[in-house]
Amino acid sequence: LLELLQADYYASFVWHDATRRFGEAVFLNMDANNLANYDRYYQYHDPITFRLQARREPTLVTQVMPQRELLRTEFFNDFLARDGLHWGVNAYAYAGDRNIGDVRIWRGRARANFDAHTLELLRLVEPAFTGALLRAQGGSSLPEACAPASTLKLSVREYEIARMIADDLSDKEIAYQLGVEISTVRTHLKRMFDKLGVRRRSGVASLLSRHR
C-alpha cells in the first residue's frame, strides 16, 4: 500500500466504541515508543482524527485542517514530527454505522501532499481492508462482490492502466499517455487479467467503476 500511494508511513488502529479509544496498532516505519505515547496521551489530544473519522470516506488531513494550523499543534510537533510524518490521508472502515478501524497513511516533508488520485485508490481498496478488519474481529466479511482484495495485488503502473481502462481509453491512447509501446500496455493487461481473475478489458473497467 505504501508503494501504491508513494507514501512513507503506515498505521492502522481498531476503534473500540465501549471505551471510546483506538487500540491494537499495526504500523510500518514508525517508532513503537512514539506509538505508545499516542496510545497513552496523544489520541486524547488529537485535533484531526475524529474530524477525519466523521467524514466516513478517504480524506486528506488538509481537508479537515489547513497544514499551517496543524504545524502549530502539540500533536504535530511532539508526536507526528518525531517520526517524520508531514502529509496525511486517512480511510475508515465501517460495518453499517459502526466504525471498526482505520488506515492512516503519511508522507514525509520532502514529498508533495496526497491528492485526488490517492483518494480514488483508497476508495478502491476500502472494501478489502474493511473485510479484513471484520474477519480479524470475528465478524462476517463483506460480500465477495464488494471486497476486491485481488486489486491489492496490482502494481502502481497496473493501477494507472486500470484507471485509464475504466475511463474508456484504448490501448493506443494508454500507451501514448504513459509514453510506452502498445506491446508494453498489452503485457500489463495480461498480468492484470490474471491478478483480477477477468478475461477482458470490460471486466477491469467494471471492477474499478464499481468502487470509484
CA–CA separation, 7 vs 135, rounded Å?
26
Domain extents for the chain? 2-140, 148-209
Q: Give the pLDDT confidence score for residue 147 in this predicted structure.
A: 38
Give the pLDDT confidence score for residue 137 in this predicted structure.
Answer: 65
Q: Which residues contact 54 (CB under 8 A, 6 or more apart)?
A: none
Q: What is the pLDDT of residues 155-202, one digit of tens each?
A: 768 878 888 888 889 999 999 988 999 999 999 999 888 888 888 888
- Residues of the chain falling short of pLDDT 70: 136-153, 156, 208-212
Residue 151: the pLDDT is 55
DSSP 148: -
Full DSSP string of 118-142 = HHHHHHHHHHHHHHHHHHHTT-PPP
Q: Which pLDDT value is given to residue 33?
A: 95
| Superfamily the domain 2-140 falls into | Transcription factor LuxR-like, autoinducer-binding domain (3.30.450.80)
- Distance CA(75)–CA(131), nearest Å, equals 30
Instruction: Please identify, in words, the CATH class of the domain defined by 148-209.
Output: mainly alpha
Do 2-140 and 148-209 come out as alike in CATH topology?
A: no
